[in-house]
Amino acid sequence: MSFLQPLLSGTLTGGVYALAGIGMSLVFGVMNISNFAHGDLMMLGMYLAYFAFTLLHIDPYLSLVLLIPTAFMFGFLLEKLFINKVINHPHQNQILLTIGLGLIMSNTALLAFTSDPKILTTSYSSSAFNLPGGISISVPLLLSFLITCVIIAMLYLFLSKTTTGMALRATSQNREAAQLMGINVAKMSAIAFGLGTALAATAGALIAPTYYIHPLVGHSFLLKAFTICVLGGLGSVVGAGVGGIIIGVVEAMSSTYLSSDWKDVVVFVLFLAVLLLRPQGLFGKKGGQS
């Protein structure tokens, strides 16, 4: 019976990871850029939720209404000011630029918020539903998961039904062809990066009530997001969704059956195993291989 507990809580956490992974995958798909600042954008989302709660007394889940547009604008500006300058550079330069931006964000946060970890405690932080069989579901995790599902559904509708969404997908499939069809690919890049930032920040805010908040926390999320993207297939949004859940479950299982110290190692070994056995990922198109 104890098997179900990590499966369930892993799935719930994995949902939030999926959100971060989808954000990264979207940026990768549309712009062909690995965004190394993704984890730090998540960290900023955590702090935004924290300060909205402690200073303005807004519930972290309600604060999303403000946080999502703010993060989108921030990402949109980042793209306009920095990222699009290197869009035709070799990807090493793109990676280094995003690493630099990430370092600026995390170390500015370190100066501004100090290195003391913060904890966001809401009235329902430690409450849980008890199911028969000794399984318990944490309320904040469940709420985060449900919100994640709503956001993913909205994103799905946006990508498949709206003109902008279709233009984004077209750019992702073939940048040149999309441009020839009259799609403003520069604008699509900025929108994709804005969406990616908004999704990262949302994932950060959703995980904030159940995680410690620290300026350098982004680094571990970044690697998780990469693992999720590679697992699902770089650039595949559906793959990133499934990959997120898998990573969440693997993490929870290895904490339960191995030790929580080793859970990240298990995730990275899984990452290497995917590269070795199925480099195009679970849902990726073939072609990543040389």
Partner 1 sequence: MKQIALVTILAAAAIALPLIIGENPYMTGILISVLMMAALSSAWNILGGYAGQYSFGHAAYFGAGAYTTLILLTNYSTLNPLICMAAGIIVASLIALITGTIVFRLRGHYFGLASIAVAEIVRLSVLNFEFTGGAQGILLSDISLWGLDLNSKNPFYYGMLLVLAVTLGITAYLRTSKTGYYLMAIREDQDAASSLGINLSFYKNKSLVISAALTSVLGSLYGLYIRFIDTSAVLDLRLSIEIILTAIIGGVGTLWGPVVGALLLVPLAEMLRSNLLGDALVKAGLVSDTSAFGIFLKENLAHAHVLVYGIITVLCILYLPKGVLGLFRRTK
Q: Does 78 bind partner 1 (CB under 8 A)?
A: no
118-177: contacts with partner 1 (CB under 8 A): none
Binding to partner 1 by CB under 8 A, coded x per residue (else -) over 240-259, reads -------------------x
Q: Give the residue, chosen from 5, 51, 80, 82, that forms a contact with partner 1 under the rule CB under 8 A.
A: 82
CB 136 within 8 A of CB 130: yes
Question: Token match 């599902």: residue?
Answer: 149
Minimum separation from the CB atom of position 165 to partner 1 (A): 25
Q: Give the residue, chosen from 68, 97, 242, 247, that forms a contact with partner 1 under the rule CB under 8 A.
A: 97
Q: Give the residue, chosen from 2, 107, 127, 174, that forms a contact with partner 1 under the rule CB under 8 A.
A: 107
Q: What phi and psi values does residue 125 have, to the nearest 5 degrees?
A: -55, -40
CA triple 92-264-5, angle to 5 deg: 135
40 sits in which H/E element:
helix 38-54
Nearer to partner 1, 39 or 60 (CB): 39
Minimum separation from the CB atom of position 217 to partner 1 (A): 13
212 sits in which H/E element:
strand 212-213
Minimum separation from the CB atom of position 229 to partner 1 (A): 9
Minimum separation from the CB atom of position 250 to partner 1 (A): 14
Burial class of 253 by CB neighbour count within 10 A (0 to 12, 13 to 18, 19+): middle
What is the DSSP track for 232-271? H-TT-HHHHHHHHHHHHHHHHHHHHHT-GGGHHHHHHHHH
Q: Does 272 bind partner 1 (CB under 8 A)?
A: yes
Q: For residue 67, how many other CB atoms are within 10 A of its CB? A: 22
Minimum separation from the CB atom of position 121 to partner 1 (A): 27
d(CA 166, CA 136) in angstroms, rounded, equals 41
CA triple 81-85-86, angle to 5 deg: 130
Q: Give the residue, chosen from 217, 234, 240, 249, that forms a contact with partner 1 under the rule CB under 8 A.
A: 234
Amino acid identity, residue 157?
L
Q: Give the residue, chosen from 3, 212, 257, 262, that forms a contact with partner 1 under the rule CB under 8 A.
A: 262
Q: Does 44 bind partner 1 (CB under 8 A)?
A: no
Binding site for partner 1 (CB under 8 A): 34, 82, 85-86, 89, 91-93, 95-97, 99-104, 107-108, 110-111, 219, 223, 226-227, 230, 234, 259, 261-262, 264-265, 268-269, 271-272, 275-276, 279, 288-290
